[in-house]
Structure 1
Amino acid sequence: MATVTEPTAPAELPVLRRLSTLDRFLPVWILLAMAIGLGLGAAIPSINDGLDKLRIGTVSLPIALGLLLMMYPVLAKVRYGDVARDRSPETAKLLGASLVLNWVVGPALMFALAWIFLADQPEFRTGLIIVGLARCIAMVLIWSDLSCADRESTALLVAINSVFQIVAYSVLGWFYLTALPDLGLDSQGFSIGIWEVARTVLIFLGIPLVAGALTRYIGVRRMGEEAYETRFLPKIGPFALYGLLFTIVMLFAIQGDAITSEPLDVVRIALPLLVYFAVMFSAGLAAGRLIGATYARTASLAFTAAGNNFELAIAVAIGVFGATSGQALAGVVGPLIEVPVLVGLVYVALWIRRRWYPAEEAAARRGDPPAPRAEPRPV
């Protein structure tokens, strides 16, 4: 049977070519923003004092605006109506697996890795735990599209976890950063109240979440869903990156001395993140096979399990511990590691489709509709 093998078929384009220029070179932009921040801090030693003059709680106003700017476009993409629409048993299994991976396995794994790799660095350790609590939003929709995952399933999982995150983040933050240390696990003097985390989450997730939901509601009503998705979202999408890069410049301007005096700290923070991404992605693939999901839905599950909302993690770290803290530095290192690793995992996912799901691979090449859902099978 003839198959479509032209290199221009959308599913066959090289992963990096299918990313926008901004997204393709994101690690480069982050490194450049770090360098600019370090140079700015060296040129203007009093920059931290200047940022302290305008504050929202423990966060300077310029950094707060950068954090809100990078959260808003992402949350304007979420299809909140999908949360209530699909109630099939198969979707219920997918949602159940996603919630377990995101809110039980993920935080516990990052907690363990933080203690294994950074037992002698309590600030970095706490920063990684904060990262582990911030679940899939951000660029997960991009990785999903690149890996030919089920776009609607990804949007549904992102929407569910976005809503769940408002409550779960604060409760789990209190559990991992206060309750467990109170039970005897040495916290090196770090204790965090549930209201401190909740207040920060409400500000830096709640405000852009409401703004994003309202934007989507008004935008879809006025211009239609197709125009909203294809014309409006691409216009505001880059502002998430602009906000992230601006925040990184500010943070590295403040953190310059700590970073340049201990460059190996960045490496130590990166190692547990690499292990985390690999384990969570593998767990998502295994869970998808276990519940009998198609490749497309399995890939959605795997990427939403492996992806983290570093924007929220950075906001919480700064909001609770301050911009000069080791916790904030741990959050900033996250996007630098996440982008190249998850691009690599997109290639892994496409290889897995060819190896484990040959029928879906062949159907995708022919342009056939998605295959029927498979029966549960052993991992």
Structure 2
Amino acid sequence: MSEKRLDFFERYLTVWVGLCIVVGITLGKLFPDAVNALSKMEVSHVNLPIAILIWLMIYPMMIKIDFSAILKVGEKPRGLLITLFINWIVKPFSMAFLAWLFFKHIFIGYIGEDLANEYIAGSIILAAAPCTAMVFVWSYLTDGDPAYTLVQVAINDLIMLVLFAPIVMFLLGVSDIVVPKDVLFMSVLLYIVIPLVAGYLTRRILLKSKGEEWFNTKLLAPLKPVTILALLATLVIIFAFQGETILSNWFNIILIAVPITIQVYFNSSLAYGLAKFLNVPHSIAAPGALIGASNFFELAVAVTISLFGLQSGATLATVVGVLVEVPVMLSVCSFCNRTRDWFPKEEKQKAV
């Protein structure tokens, strides 16, 4: 497969992301009442405007999935096993170690003991929640196998229902953690089930009634920019919500970002390296590296708010996870695209 050709807009996506962060923070300062009203449009701690935008990110990719290919995932188990190993064995524990190292030792003189403990807690909760929605965007940017990515996300969500609370309890040494299952349920429903069903029905009905050529040229082509535009709009809203917090804690945010950034690069590199060592195809290896490095920040923020409060250091740490994730994950996407020739060539996938 030839290297993915990014258009002008995609090539400078990091620049647009930076601009959206600035615009979001500015809007939060200029129009606090309107932003506050948007932030309160929630169902089970899931913000509906953000959910709609994430749905717009995922839906065009769901349409592309050949759902019969999902049944063939079992023929390539190594990519899935690598993802599960990184997400549930390596990631929470590596984050706990890095958070302890930086907050309890390297940065302790700047933040003090109490904040150090809160930042550690927030970092652990963030790392224990594997990404759900944004993985589809990263997979798209690296020409990932959409059917395989869907299975990876779905299995991680099922495991998260069982392992998230025990891992967080063990690493924090807390016995009374309550996982908001309604947040998990609503997030999976809004970010996975609804776009999945909509994509399946759209694909099935239109391929049958209009044919493959019409489907590719009249539907998929116009939908291509929707994913990226929805991503940028999501960032504007998120940072409008969190603008005041970011501006008032900018130095601590830099400190928190250090171990989180290291953790992202460590886990993505380990997953990508294992995939190369085990001869996993690039269309599976790249999304696997990205799914092992990104986080389910909606769940992490909801859990830290319920456990520690909205103004806590733990909640701030999960917000920093959002701030760090997009620019860092774009750099990981770029690296995966530049190193495509490290992997055996694959047959060019059809657009559908």
2:127 maps to amino acid: I
Q: How does 1:146-157 map to 2 (within 5 A)?
A: 154-157=145-148
The equivalent residue for 1:304 is 287
Between the aligned partners of 1:116 and 1:230, the Cα distance in structure 2 is 52
Distance 1:138 1:112, change over 3 A: farther
Distance 1:262 1:218, change over 3 A: same
Distance 1:220 1:173, change over 3 A: farther
Between the aligned partners of 2:60 and 2:304, the Cα distance in structure 1 is 26
1:343 is displaced (CA, Å) by: 0.5
CA contact (8 A) 2:70 2:147 kept: yes
2:321 maps to amino acid: A
Choose from 159, 167, 191 the match for 2:158. Answer: 167
Choose from 123, 127, 130 the match for 1:129. Answer: 127
Is residue 302 of structure 2 the alignment partner of residue 316 of structure 1?
Answer: no
Distance 1:234 1:335, change over 3 A: farther
The equivalent residue for 2:188 is 202
Q: How does 1:177-256 map to 2 (within 5 A)?
A: 177=168, 179-180=169-170, 185-186=172-173, 191-193=177-179, 195-205=181-191, 206-225=193-212, 227-229=214-216, 231-256=218-243
1:19 is displaced (CA, Å) by: 0.9
CA contact (8 A) 1:200 1:316 kept: no
Distance 1:348 1:218, change over 3 A: same
The equivalent residue for 2:42 is 55
1:105 is displaced (CA, Å) by: 3.7
The equivalent residue for 2:61 is 74
Between the aligned partners of 1:29 and 1:190, the Cα distance in structure 2 is 42
The equivalent residue for 1:334 is 325
CA contact (8 A) 1:75 1:213 kept: yes
1:333 is displaced (CA, Å) by: 2.7
CA contact (8 A) 1:196 1:320 kept: no
Query: Which shows bigger deviation, 261-270 or 251-260?
Result: 261-270
Between the aligned partners of 2:88 and 2:217, the Cα distance in structure 1 is 32
1:223 is displaced (CA, Å) by: 3.5
Length-normalised TM-score, structure 2: 0.74
CA contact (8 A) 1:37 1:250 kept: yes
CA contact (8 A) 1:131 1:309 kept: no
Q: Deviations over 1:40-90 (max 9, x none)?
A: 1211232344225543233444333233333333333333321213654xx
Structure 2: 5+ residue runs without aligned partners?
A: 105-115
The RMSD of aligned alpha carbons is 3.7
Indicate the SS of the match to 2:161: helix
1:155 is displaced (CA, Å) by: 3.5
Distance 1:130 1:208, change over 3 A: farther
- Whose helix fraction is larger, Structure 1's or Structure 2's? 2
Distance 1:336 1:127, change over 3 A: farther
Higher Cα Rg, which structure = 1
Distance 1:98 1:20, change over 3 A: same
CA contact (8 A) 2:256 2:320 kept: no
Choose from 83, 100, 118 the match for 2:85. Answer: 100
The equivalent residue for 1:148 is none
2:324 maps to amino acid: V
Distance 1:259 1:164, change over 3 A: same
CA contact (8 A) 1:98 1:301 kept: no
The equivalent residue for 2:9 is 22
CA contact (8 A) 2:24 2:239 kept: yes
1:100 maps to amino acid: F
1:161 is displaced (CA, Å) by: 0.8
Length-normalised TM-score, structure 1: 0.70
Structure 1: 5+ residue runs without aligned partners?
A: 1-9, 146-150, 354-359, 371-379
CA contact (8 A) 1:174 1:194 kept: no
Aligned-residue identity in percent: 24
Between the aligned partners of 1:159 and 1:307, the Cα distance in structure 2 is 13
* Alignment: residue pair count: 325
Between the aligned partners of 2:236 and 2:77, the Cα distance in structure 1 is 42
Distance 1:126 1:75, change over 3 A: farther
Choose from 314, 335, 352 the match for 1:344. Answer: 335
Between the aligned partners of 1:308 and 1:282, the Cα distance in structure 2 is 12
Between the aligned partners of 2:189 and 2:6, the Cα distance in structure 1 is 31
Is residue 139 of structure 2 the alignment partner of residue 140 of structure 1?
Answer: yes
